[in-house]
A and B are shown apart, each in its own frame.
Chain A
Amino acid sequence: NAGVTQTPKFRVLKTGQSMTLLCAQDMNHEYMYWYRQDPGMGLRLIHYSVGEGTTAKGEVPDGYNVSRLKKQNFLLGLESAAPSQTSVYFCASSYTGTAKAFFGQGTRLTVV
């Protein structure tokens, strides 16, 4: 029972490069989220999805795009990475109508 799986776990990017973070969940959850975690800031919501084919902006969406083509997958894209996007990124999912979120192990991204 994998739960929420994120790939990759670590990545180093150069400024201006692009990349996609993949999140997959096997719990048949409708809701999926992308958060970033920075020291002293807690977790901040980047984008979220309430179902297949839907996405919405969270607190800090600038510089990121997302897609939810399949219910089990939620992709986070960085089109032109900036050093300010150096962070640990967490994907989470939850059942409809509940904030009991299940988190992945995280992706540590460094932009140099």
Chain B
Amino acid sequence: QQQVKQSPQSLIVQKGGISIINCAYENTAFDYFPWYQQFPGKGPALLIAIRPDVSEKKEGRFTISFNKSAKQFSLHIMDSQPGDSATYFCAASRGDYKLSFGAGTTVTVRA
């Protein structure tokens, strides 16, 4: 079964809006939580990552919020742009290598 559960499967947001993607995990041994961005026909690329000792990390318009007690983390895309239209995957790893991925969220930003 999938070790990381991701929702929603897809979302549509207007340009300038906020996109929010949620992930949940069960394995408390996970200690690294990255988000990957994938454009059609391309491989995933690391977008932003967080470790469980912090509750939030921001890089530009992208923010990860992490709730260790709830075993949940989320990606917020602020001021969404058409160029952000892509599939986003959350992931988790233990021991800093093998990644377990969520099912992915397709984000469409309407101009």
Tell me if B66 is interfacial: C-beta within 8 Å of chain A. no
B residues within 8 Å of A by Cβ?
2, 4, 6, 9, 32, 34, 41-46, 49, 89, 91, 93, 96-104
Least Cβ distance of A35 to chain B in Å?
Answer: 8
Q: Which residues of A contact B89 (CB under 8 A)?
A: 42-43
Contact residue range for chain A? Answer: 20 to 34
Interface segment, one of A63-71, A74-82, A98-106: A98-106
**CB–CB B44/A90 < 8 A:** yes
Least Cβ distance of A96 to chain B in Å?
Answer: 8
**CB–CB A43/B49 < 8 A:** no
A101's closest neighbor in chain B, by CB? B99
In the complex, number of A-B residue pairs with CB atoms less than 8 Å apart? 62
Tell me if A94 is interfacial: C-beta within 8 Å of chain B. yes
Q: Which residues of A contact B6 (CB under 8 A)?
A: 42
Q: Which residues of B contact A4 (CB under 8 A)?
A: 43
Q: For B44, B45, B93, B102, which residue has the most chain A Cβ atoms within 10 angstroms?
A: B44
Q: Which residues of A contact B32 (CB under 8 A)?
A: 99
**CB–CB B49/A100 < 8 A:** yes
